[in-house]
Structures are given as C-alpha cells and as structure tokens.
Amino acid sequence: MKAEPPDPGTPSVGGGWPVIEGWARATLSPKGPLLWQTLLHKSACLSCAWGTGGQNGGFSDELGEPLQRCLKSVEAISAELQPAVPHEVFSGRSVSALQRLSSLEADRLGRLSHPLILREGRSHYERLAWDDVFAITEAAFRVPPQRLASYSSGRSSNEAAYLLQLLLRALGSNNLADCSDLCHAPSTVGLNAVFGSGTSMVSLESLQQADCVVLVGSNAPANHPRLMNELIRLRERGGSVIVINPVLEVGLLKFGSPAFPIKSMLRGSEIASLFLQPVPGSDTAVFLGFQKALLEAGQIRWDFLNAHTEGADAVLEQARATPWEAITACCGLSREELEHAAAVIARSRGVVFAWAMGITHHANGTTNVQAIANTALVSGNAGRPGAGTMPIRGHSNVQGFGSMGVTVKLRADMQQALEALLGRPLSRVPGYDTRALIEAAEAGTVDTLLCLGGNLWGANPDSTQARHALGRIDTVIYLATKPNQGHFHGLGARRTLVLPVFNRFETPHRTTTESGNNFVRLNEPGHTHLKHADLISEVEFLAGLATRLLGREPVDWGQLHDPVYVRQLIARTVPGYGPIAAIDATKREFSVEGRVFEQPSFPTPSGRARMEPTPLPALVQPEPAHFGGLAPGEAGLALTLITARSYSQHNTVVYKPGDAYRGMPHRHTILMNRADLARSGLAPHQTVTVQGEAGALEGVEIIPGEIREGAALMFYPEVNAIIRVPVDPRSGTPAFKRAPVLVRSGLRPEAAPSAVSAGAEAG
C-alpha cells in the first residue's frame, strides 16, 4: 500500500518529544513529588500488561533493566492521585446531571472516597456507612446462585480475583464475566486449542533473541509503549518487523523512545521493515497466504511438523487448495506482498508472532489466532527461544484474573483442585460471559451483580441495550477507585452502590499481579494520599462479604482476610503458581510454571501442537441500502468501522480529548481514506452523521488519513452508543473492529429518531 502525505501538522514519528513534554509537565505540576514517589513505589504499573515495575523498583522490567516506565503509566498514576470528589458533587448534582458528563469529565471529578448508594426513586447518590453496605450486599447475595453474577476488569490483584471466584463458586454460581471476554478471550481459546496453553509462550528474554517480529493488529506505540524498545533493539541488531494493520499507525513506522535519548529520541527509530495494510477482519486470509507462499517456495519445516504437530496435512492441504485469487480478494493484499513477507519469515532464524485487538475483535477472532499459530508452526517458529506466539495482553492484571479462575471456561485441573479445597463438586451450570450476562440481565434473570472495577456499561456495544439490561438487575454493586460513566448510566432497578477501594500502590497489604509475559509481580503495601477517606481493600471487602454469607464453610473465610493465607490457597489450587507460597518470605517474583515453551513439547494429550484448517471469512462490505439508503442528493457511503483507542485514553477512561498522532483533534471524529471521500462526494473536515446498527452520532468531523479504503476508525467508548456487532461464537468476543456503518452528509428527518437520541445521550 502506498502511504499518502498526512495532513500538515500530524507528527511523522510516534513517541518522541510529546512524551518528554508530558513527563516534564507531570513532574513540574503540584502533584510532581507525589507522582515520583509513586513511580518509585515497588509495585507493578497500573496501566498495561507489559508489567513494568515490582520488586526491582518501580521502573524496571522483569530482567531488571531500568528506565522502563512510559508516559501511559504517568497518566494512570496522575488520575489516581487526584483529590477526593467533593461531597457536593453527589449531594448537589442529580444522577441525570451526572449522566451528562463525558468520560473525561467523570474521571476528572476525582477519587471516590466514601461508599455511595442510589436508591430506587431517588435522584441523588447518598453516603452510606460500611455496616450498611455489608448488610445490603449480604441480603442481595442471598438469591438463587444462577441469579447472581460478577463482572471484573483486570486492574485488581490476584488475591482479590481469587477470592471473587472462590466466593461465587462456593455459592454455586459460575457467572464470572470478565473484561477479557471483550478482549483476548479468542487468544485464550485459540491458543488452548492449538498448544493446550492459553497465554504467551514467549518470555521477555526469549523475545530479545528473535530476529523477526510479526506485529498484527496492535497499536503498541500507544498501548504497550515499552514493547517499542524491544522492536527498536531488534531493528538495530539487523532484524525485521512485519506490521499488519489496516491503519498506517505513525508510531509503527517510526518511534522516538526516551529510553534511547541520543539515537532514537531526536529523529525516531524505524520500526516496520514491511507494512501490510489488509482489509479489516481478513487476517486469516493473510496468514493462509503466508502458508501458501511458504509451501510453494518449498520452505515448509516438514521435520518440525512431523515431530511436533498433528493435523498439519489438512492445514497445508487447505493452503494448497485455496486459490490465490480467493486469498487476495479477501485480504486486499497482492500475492507479491504476501510472498515477500513469507520470504522474510522463512529466512529469519527466530520469529515471534505478536498480536492484540486487531486480531481478536472479529467474528472469527479465534480462527484468526489459530491461523497465526499454524503459520508459526509450519515455519518452525514455536517452542524454542527467540520464537513463538505472543498475545499482547491488555489490562495490567487481566491475565492474572484468568489464572485465578475468573473465567467461564475453568481449566479442568483447577476445577479439581477447587473441588478438593471446597470438599464438594462445583456447579456444572455454564456461567455467563460478558455478552451472555448482558443478555441474561435483559431477559430479567439476574438479581444481583458485583462489579470488581471496570465500566460494564461503557465497554459493551449498544449502550442503550446495556443500560436497559443493567436496569433490570435489582442490585448493582461497583467497586472502583474513580467514578466513571458506568456508575451513572449502568444503574440497577432497586439500588446501585459505588464503593471506594484502594488502588494497587495504596493497598495496605502486599498483593501480586501477573504480566502478559507470565511474570508474577509482588506489590509492596502503600498508603493513600486521600485525607479523611473511607476506602476498603478489595480483599477485605470480599473476605468480609464471604464471612457474613458463609462463615467458616467450606473454608474459613475469616482467615482469608489475610492475603498471605490467600496466597497459600492460590499455591495449592492454581496451576503453575506453586512458588507464590514462598513469595512473602523470599520476595522472589517468578514466571508461572508451564507457560513459556523453549522446547517444542506442548501440554496437549499427545505433547504435539494440534493444527486445524482455518476457513476464510466471508467478508461483506456493507451497502447504504442496509441502513435504508441515502436520500436523493445526499452524499455518503457505507464502511466497515474499526473502533479503537486514541493515543490518550485508557479503555473507557479518556485522559485527553484529541489524538495528535492520527491527526484527530477531538473525539467526535472519523478517520477515513481519501479515495472513499472522493468517490462518495464527502469532503475532509465536513461534519457528517455516522449511522450504525444501534443508533447514529451527528456532527462527526471527517479526518482524512492513512487507513485502508473501505474502512474507517472511530474512538471507543463513545462509539458504543451506535454499534451492534456479532460475537465470535467460540470466545463470545464482540467484533468491535468490523462494525457496519453508513457515513452520510445529512440524516433524513424520518430516519430512526430514537436511535439518534441514543447516540446523543451517551456522547
């Protein structure tokens, strides 16, 4: 794909000076000293799952390398260091007024400092004493187990996650929805299918031995900035980076890293040696193309396949039998581009295949992951240092939540261990994942929901549906550090509780977390800057609730107030977590056992990787007619919409309005290809209506940019007001990266007025 010149003023390097400026601004602000104290605290970074920080000091990675904190970490800490929300905000402003706050405004209210309740028929949140919180919560939990559910977001500790699932399972419920259902669940399912293990098989040390990285569907410059240092180093030692992304992300072309002030900061380091811009949702075709090219060039590693895999014949037969035209028509890349990339893979000694949401957020997300794994296997790139499959995880402890059993797909070995611990069989009723939870709630079959962090309302597609669904639950309980829009829009029918908790660096006891590279971090106790606040630790809340509900049955919940004891139970019941039993004494952080494969022997029954063919997706470009058509004389066109993060937000929490790197000056923008503008009669910077399956947003400014023809990009969470998308049936994950929309110059007056107001409400 040819790159067109960006709009004037758009940076040509990712990272770079804005990062230094950001650090300087934060350091010089009144919060500066507290910020630095927090950065130096021995705990894992709050932001992404790369997992910087921990016992070696707040700045180092797991190999002890210093200076590994990025500006995203500073943004996350600064938000946590805000003063408490003044009480007048809740006593003086009605919930309808609070509903008008944007994500950024809600976050800027400050920190939650006291328990709050919104009762049925009341207009305002009111303060509540902890005794009353426990009494209300306990009563709400005394419902049939199928009508009880939780949702969690991967910011909390392993200890809290473990207690959450132990409590729900002890009560007989498997309804443990988690943000990973909206995120990397296809990676877990796909990698489990192939390798019998659902996480990265590559350690940081192993990544440093690769000479090629294939980076697919990831905007790492914004979302995993420290990964960029590894890519810079790889290029410097002569390696290749193949980027696969429908958006020509500037930071993936060139990135200026403050970790290398002289050589990289000034002009930026080259990242991509090859940039492929496929049709969104077509990655299975891209990887099938690689396999076919390797096959035709005689570069399949038969020795490796024969010794370490099963099912390879069917996979290669699919590659042989699928015509090039079918592959190129699906992904929109040329045969030459695919052959060229395959040749780079073939001549590299060690290839790491790394991916994020561009792969998982599709109706065939799990198949996408399998297509990547198959490519790794046919090229002999699995189960040895410097090679393998590496999902790049999202939230800082989302992987720990999965390890702790917060999942609707509990591993059989952990299930057995929990049954031994509890002395009775666990319920066999399948639990609700996040989408199933919304649907069950909408159907009126959920009475009580406990949210350990997150923003269930904002993270789901179709905000109107999410609001109605949550509104049918009697009691919704949010544990959170800061207010977010979900606390104002995701309200329960009879009561909503918002309970303030310590964040990771404030929790008064030790906790642990697990990085995306399977490294377990030990976080030292801390204290909060909030004066006169009434916060609780998540462990104390969950153990307290469990003690009230279950007493000493079937475990002594009172003793589980002590996180050291929680870690003993984790060591006994969580596969690979044995070393956590000694961590309080030794302070030794560790790699979860059985995850990193440096030998091609996998935890499947045969010890071999299980390959299976990956059907090409049938991608249909939407038509205006699907949305009722354009009015006579109206300009517009239907596109597939990628919904993604800006460079200045953390998930549903917006830190800054615009996105300078993509040239999008504010959030009410849509990134479009210039050829699409030319053929539809729309113009750069024109304001348009974007109509999705669930509503429309008006007054959206068109930004011309480096995105594949036929595709567009808008920012989540605002865009969730208008999209309704299918889910990947194997993982339950929504196709957030391929939502059909109609972009139009004006909206016919008779078209869907209710949908328009839905969009406006959430904006």
Site for Mo ion, rule CB under 5 A:
183, 394
The answer to whether 230 contacts ligand MGD (rule: CB under 6 A) is no
CB of 652 to ligand MGD, least distance (A): 3
Contact partner at residue 52 from Mo ion, ligand SF4, ligand MGD, none, CB < 5 to 8 Å by partner kind = ligand SF4
CB of 553 to ligand MGD, least distance (A): 26
Label residues 25-54 b or e (16+ Cβ within 10 Å = b). ebeeeebeeebeebbebbbbbbbbbbbbbb
CB of 681 to ligand MGD, least distance (A): 26
Q: Which is nearer to ligand MGD, 418 or 694 (CB)?
A: 694
Window 69 to 128, contacts with ligand MGD (CB under 6 A): 72
- Return the CA Rg of the chain: 25
Task: Find out whether 462 and 694 touch, Cβ atoms under 8 Å.
Answer: yes
Which helix (H) or strand (E) segment holds residue 304: the answer is helix 302-308
Binding span for ligand SF4 by CB under 6 A among 46-54, 409-417, 611-619, 680-688: 46-54
In the stretch 203-232, what mask flags binding to ligand SF4 with x, by CB under 6 A?
A: ---------------------xxx------
CB of 153 to Mo ion, least distance (A): 9
Binding span for ligand SF4 by CB under 6 A among 43-51, 504-512, 607-615, 713-721: 43-51
Report which residue type is found at 605: P
Task: Find out whether 357 and 223 touch, Cβ atoms under 8 Å.
Answer: no
Binding span for ligand MGD by CB under 6 A among 7-15, 151-159, 414-422, 560-568: 151-159
Contact partner at residue 731 from ligand SF4, Mo ion, ligand MGD, none, CB < 5 to 8 Å by partner kind = none
The helix/strand/coil state of 526 is: coil
What are phi and psi for residue 570, nearest 5 degrees? -60, -45
Q: Which is nearer to ligand MGD, 249 or 676 (CB)?
A: 249
In the list 11, 16, 41, 47, the residue contacting ligand SF4 (rule: CB under 6 A) is: 47
Placement of tokens 């929901």 in the chain: 449
Nearest in space to 245 (alpha carbons), one of 571, 579, 14: 14
Q: Is 472 exposed, middle or buried (0-12, 13-18, 19+ CB in 10 A)?
A: middle
In the list 39, 45, 244, 694, the residue contacting ligand SF4 (rule: CB under 6 A) is: 45
Beta-carbon count within 10 A of 229 CB: 22
In the list 55, 156, 364, 370, the residue contacting ligand MGD (rule: CB under 6 A) is: 156
What are phi and psi for residue 493, nearest 5 degrees? -70, -40
CB of 452 to ligand MGD, least distance (A): 5
Query: In the 3-class helix/strand/coil scheme, how is 114-179 assigned residue by residue?
Result: CCEEEECCCCCCEECCHHHHHHHHHHHHCCCHHHEEEEECCCCCHHHHHHHHHHHHHHCCCCEEEH
Window 688 to 727, contacts with ligand MGD (CB under 6 A): 716, 719-720
Window 730 to 759, contacts with ligand MGD (CB under 6 A): 736-737
CB of 188 to ligand MGD, least distance (A): 13
Strands 590-591, 254-256: pairing kind = unpaired
CB of 500 to ligand SF4, least distance (A): 23
CB of 152 to Mo ion, least distance (A): 12
Contact partner at residue 226 from ligand MGD, Mo ion, ligand SF4, none, CB < 5 to 8 Å by partner kind = ligand SF4
And the tokens for 380?
A: 């002999």
The helix/strand/coil state of 363 is: coil
In the list 77, 228, 242, 244, the residue contacting ligand MGD (rule: CB under 6 A) is: 244
Contact partner at residue 720 from ligand SF4, ligand MGD, Mo ion, none, CB < 5 to 8 Å by partner kind = ligand MGD
Q: Which is nearer to ligand SF4, 45 or 671 (CB)?
A: 45
Contact partner at residue 69 from ligand MGD, ligand SF4, Mo ion, none, CB < 5 to 8 Å by partner kind = ligand SF4
CB of 752 to ligand MGD, least distance (A): 20
Distance CA 608, CA 310 (A): 6
What are phi and psi for residue 48, nearest 5 degrees? -105, 175
Binding span for ligand MGD by CB under 6 A among 33-41, 357-365, 402-410, 587-595: 357-365
In the list 227, 271, 357, 449, the residue contacting ligand MGD (rule: CB under 6 A) is: 357
Task: Find out whether 716 and 702 touch, Cβ atoms under 8 Å.
Answer: no
Strands 274-276, 240-244: pairing kind = parallel
DSSP 8-state secondary structure symbol assigned to residue 7: P
DSSP 8-state secondary structure symbol assigned to residue 313: H
**Interface size with ligand MGD, residues (CB under 6 A):** 59
Contact partner at residue 642 from ligand SF4, ligand MGD, Mo ion, none, CB < 5 to 8 Å by partner kind = ligand MGD
Q: Which is nearer to ligand SF4, 225 or 613 (CB)?
A: 225
The answer to whether 649 contacts ligand SF4 (rule: CB under 6 A) is no
- Angle at which helix 71-80 crosses helix 17-28, to 10 degrees, equals 30
In the list 200, 651, 673, 689, the residue contacting ligand MGD (rule: CB under 6 A) is: 651
CB of 302 to ligand MGD, least distance (A): 28
Window 305 to 344, contacts with ligand MGD (CB under 6 A): none
DSSP 8-state secondary structure symbol assigned to residue 67: -
Distance CA 441, CA 448 (A): 10
CB of 216 to Mo ion, least distance (A): 16
Window 500 to 559, contacts with ligand MGD (CB under 6 A): 501, 503-504, 538
In the list 16, 19, 42, 52, the residue contacting ligand SF4 (rule: CB under 6 A) is: 52
CB of 206 to ligand SF4, least distance (A): 18
Task: Find out whether 373 and 609 touch, Cβ atoms under 8 Å.
Answer: yes
Beta-carbon count within 10 A of 21 CB: 11
HSE of 64 in the Cβ direction (CA atoms, 13 Å)? 3
In the list 285, 382, 410, 452, the residue contacting ligand MGD (rule: CB under 6 A) is: 452
Q: Which is nearer to ligand MGD, 62 or 75 (CB)?
A: 75
Q: Which is nearer to ligand SF4, 47 or 434 (CB)?
A: 47
Contact partner at residue 193 from ligand MGD, ligand SF4, Mo ion, none, CB < 5 to 8 Å by partner kind = none
The terminus-to-terminus CA distance of the chain in angstroms comes to 34
Beta strands in 192-345 (DSSP E): 212-216, 240-244, 254-256, 269-270, 274-276, 309-310
Which helix (H) or strand (E) segment holds residue 500: the answer is strand 495-500
Window 53 to 112, contacts with ligand SF4 (CB under 6 A): 69-70, 72-73
Distance CA 259, CA 243 (A): 22
Nearest in space to 509 (alpha carbons), one of 563, 569, 586: 563
Q: Which is nearer to ligand SF4, 45 or 639 (CB)?
A: 45
> Any residues with CB less than 8 A from the CB of 159 and at least 6 apart, and which?
511, 512, 539, 563, 566, 567, 570
Placement of tokens 């750069």 in the chain: 684
And the tokens for 425?
A: 């069989």
Nearest in space to 39 (alpha carbons), one of 22, 24, 27, 25: 27
Which residues of the chain form contacts with ligand SF4 (CB under 6 A)?
45, 47-48, 50-52, 69-70, 72-73, 224-226
Q: Which residues bind ligand MGD (CB under 6 A)?
A: 47-48, 72, 153, 155-156, 179, 182-183, 216-219, 222-223, 244-247, 249, 280-281, 283, 356-358, 361, 394-395, 452-456, 459, 461, 479-482, 484, 501, 503-504, 538, 642-645, 649-653, 716, 719-720, 736-737
